[in-house]
Amino acid sequence: MKTVHIAGALLAVTTLVVSCSKQNGDSDMTAENTDSSLKAQLDARKTAFGTKASDSVKKTYAEGIQAVVDSGVVQHAKQVGDKAPDFELTNASGETVKLSDVLKDGPVVLTWYRGGWCPYCNLALRAMQKELPNFEAAGATLIALTPEVPDQSMSTAEKDELEFEVLSDLNNTVAQEYGIVYTLTDGVATIYEDKFELSAYNGNDLNQLPLAATYVINEDGIITYAFLDADYRNRAEPSDITAALQK
């Protein structure tokens, strides 16, 4: 099966997520080499985690990833050639964003991130922001979705600094339509709740998250590129997305 490989960033969110990462013991993330490929940065993050995490935590996380593999969510998700489900969500400024409307202006890069508490997501968001000019040069619009509730702590000025749309997909409603939602194992759910209160971030206690998926959707609403991986630590390389758009 062809590898299918998908989250938006804003200067304000960068500040926010760095703060969240420090709260969760990930302050060393700011020292990552932001000039290297996203994969190199993610690999460095994995290595750093492996040196400081306990064996029990690493075992719990590994079991969680294997559970996602076993669930078959990657195979059942929307794939290249499928029609992308339309959706309508509200952005950080309270405005309605509808996928089909955005597609009238060109292709869309649609990406999910798990939340500002996730250091791998933070790295991916920054990399997407850096690549944004190339997306735009190809005529594409970048939209990021997250299951987090809208961040009420962001000021109006901060919301206006968004470089691209970051939409709250509450209860993973849209992610469900794309078939990319999975339920955390009890072990991972417990760690996430104890570490940063996932239920508060998502506004529910469902213990569900989306794959860190990325799609390119053409003007006809057809998926032409997809990144899907059971391991949340792996993300679409932004330059690969640009290459897909240029095709």
Q: What whole-number distance in Å separates Cα of residue 42 and Cα of residue 120?
A: 6
Instruction: Say whether pLDDT at 155 is over 60.
Output: no
Mean pLDDT of 229-241: 98
Q: What residue type is assigned to position 18 of the chain?
A: V
Instruction: Say whether pLDDT at 192 is over 90.
Output: yes
Mean pLDDT of 67-87: 98
Residues 143, 175 contacting (CB under 8 angstroms) = no
Q: What whole-number distance in Å separates Cα of residue 47 and Cα of residue 45?
A: 5
Mean pLDDT of 224-239: 98
Better-scored residue on pLDDT, 78 or 35: 78
The CATH-assigned architecture of domain 11-246 is 3-Layer(aba) Sandwich (3.40)
- Check residue 36 and give its pLDDT: 85
For the chain, the structural domain boundaries read 11-246
Mean pLDDT of 155-184: 82
Instruction: Say whether pLDDT at 20 is over 70.
Output: no
Q: What is the pTM of this model?
A: 0.84
- Check residue 116 and give its pLDDT: 84
Mean pLDDT of 32-50: 85
* Planar angle of CA 88, 113, 107, nearest 5 degrees: 50
Helix ranges restricted to H, the chain? 11-23, 38-52, 55-71, 73-76, 99-102, 119-137, 156-159, 173-177, 186-196, 198-202, 238-246
- Check residue 91 and give its pLDDT: 79
Q: How many residues does the chain have?
A: 247
Whole-angstrom distance between the N-terminal and C-terminal Cα of the chain? 20
Q: What whole-number distance in Å separates Cα of residue 227 and Cα of residue 140?
A: 17
Instruction: Say whether pLDDT at 63 is over 70.
Output: yes
Report the relative pairing of strands 165-168 and 141-146 from DSSP bridges: parallel
Instruction: Say whether pLDDT at 71 is over 70.
Output: yes
Q: What whole-number distance in Å separates Cα of residue 136 and Cα of residue 118?
A: 26
Task: For residue 42, give both structure tokens.
Answer: 């993610």
pLDDT tens sequence across 112-138: 999 888 999 989 988 998 999 999 999
CA distances in angstroms from 184 to 68, 166, 180, 190, listed in the order given: 8, 24, 13, 9
- Check residue 35 and give its pLDDT: 59
Mean pLDDT of the chain: 85
Instruction: Say whether pLDDT at 145 is over 70.
Output: yes
Mean pLDDT of 68-77: 98
Nearest alpha carbon to residue 169 among 81, 99, 120, 106? 99
Mean pLDDT of 142-152: 84
